[in-house]
Copies of this chain bind each other. A is one copy, B any other.
Amino acid sequence: MIVAMQESAKEEQIQLVIDRLVSLGFEVHRSTGARQTVLGGVGVPHDFDTREVEMMPGVQEVHRITSPYKLAGRNFRPEGTVVKFTNGIEIGGKKIVVMAGPCSVESKEQLFTVSELIAKAGARVLRGGAFKPRSSPYSFQGLGLDGLKLLREAGDRFKLLVISEVMEISQIELMLPYVDIFQVGARNMQNFNLLREAGKLTTPVMIKRGIAATIEELLLAAEYVMSGGNFDVMLCERGIRTFETATRNTMDVSAIPVVKKLSHLPMIGDPSHGTGRRDMVLPMARAAVAAGADGLIVEVHPDPDHAMSDGAQTLTPPQFTEMMQQVRAVAAAVGRSA
């Protein structure tokens, strides 16, 4: 960490900053120049907040030099993480993995119809929500345990892995027998209690970026899970909130190559939530793959206009089939397959 003192800082102010850094656990190096003094602190303690020093009298600026994440950093595994599943599917390898399915599990018929379709079209993972807390207390809240069982059944039948969102710690145990990947949703990206529990699991976890979260904060969420011992972490870009309203969110496609550079973790693109509009899913799915995504997650429903949630951003079966063809073409163009 670097603390630049103001040109006008007095010697006693400098001493107070040094004392404080030492008491915080830093080893301090002082460099006194003609105009200003710069202090270097080695060994940043956990959870150190640079603002604590920034507010001290005489301090001009503080910069945390060391990256706040280690396990999630590219250096930790320069060759990249590949999350491997027992059925041979790998996420983070050469093959781009497509996750698809309805926003919510609604019925066996709905789920099996869509599962068969996506499996045929080339998806390898079935997505579906079992718990759907909604903005109105009178709305459909998901099928819960029954939904999980249907997901597992459909996954087994059509040879698809199952991913579903965990919203509370209390759901983990319930979900454990049924899912292959736990999804931590955008709203829970900084739910540290939930991340800590996810870190104790051996089941892989996919963390979605919050709509107001920086890429660094996303990597810190991954660090949190990894520090608990679960290294099978995937990240997902699903749109951030900006001033633009033509799309529901602004899908930050550049987050994909940035994460791939900073981290070794697989990166998934979600063009359904990223745009919120069915008619923008295909071009943004292509863009995500072109930018280097290791996978995609999209919403598909046999009859999106009657989907119980998120219908507007959900693909029809023919649209999904077309998406898969396009994705395969773009994947080949960037030296991968899908």
Contact = CB atoms under 8 A, between A and B. Distances in A.
Interface of A: 2, 4, 7-8, 20, 29, 31, 33-36, 38, 40, 42, 46-47, 49, 51-52, 54-56, 60-61, 63, 65, 67, 75, 133-139, 167-170, 187, 190-193, 196, 199, 210-212, 214-216, 220, 224, 227-228, 240-248, 250-258, 261-262, 274-280, 283-284, 286-292, 305, 309-313, 326, 329-330, 332-334
Contacts of A240: 242-244, 250
Ordered nearest first, which 10 A-B pairs have the shortest CB separation? A51-B312, A212-B212, A290-B290, A133-B192, A257-B283, A286-B290, A47-B139, A329-B333, A333-B333, A46-B136
B312 A63 contact: no
A169 B170 CA distance: 10
A280 B280 CA distance: 23
Contacts of A7: 75
B278 A55 contact: yes
Contacts of A216: 246
Contact of A242 (B38, B191, B242): B242
B192 A168 contact: no
Given A38-B2, A63-B61, A212-B243, A193 B133 contact: yes
| Stoichiometry (number of copies) | 4
Nearest to A250: B252
Contacts of A228: 137
Contacts of A40: 31, 33, 38
Q: Which of A247, A254, A277 has the most CB of B within 10 A?
A: A254
Contact of A291 (B241, B252, B287): B287
B280 A52 contact: no
Contact of A54 (B29, B247, B312): B312
Contact of A311 (B29, B52, B243): B52
Contacts of A36: 65
Contacts of A258: 246-247, 280
A250 B242 contact: yes
A289 B253 CA distance: 13
A253 B256 contact: no
Contacts of A212: 210-212, 241, 243
B247 A274 contact: no
A252 to B, nearest CB: 5
A170 B192 CA distance: 15
23 contacts: A2-B38, A20-B305, A31-B31, A46-B139, A47-B135, A51-B277, A51-B313, A61-B63, A135-B220, A136-B224, A137-B192, A168-B168, A168-B169, A214-B245, A240-B250, A246-B254, A254-B275, A254-B283, A261-B279, A286-B290, A287-B288, A287-B291, A330-B334
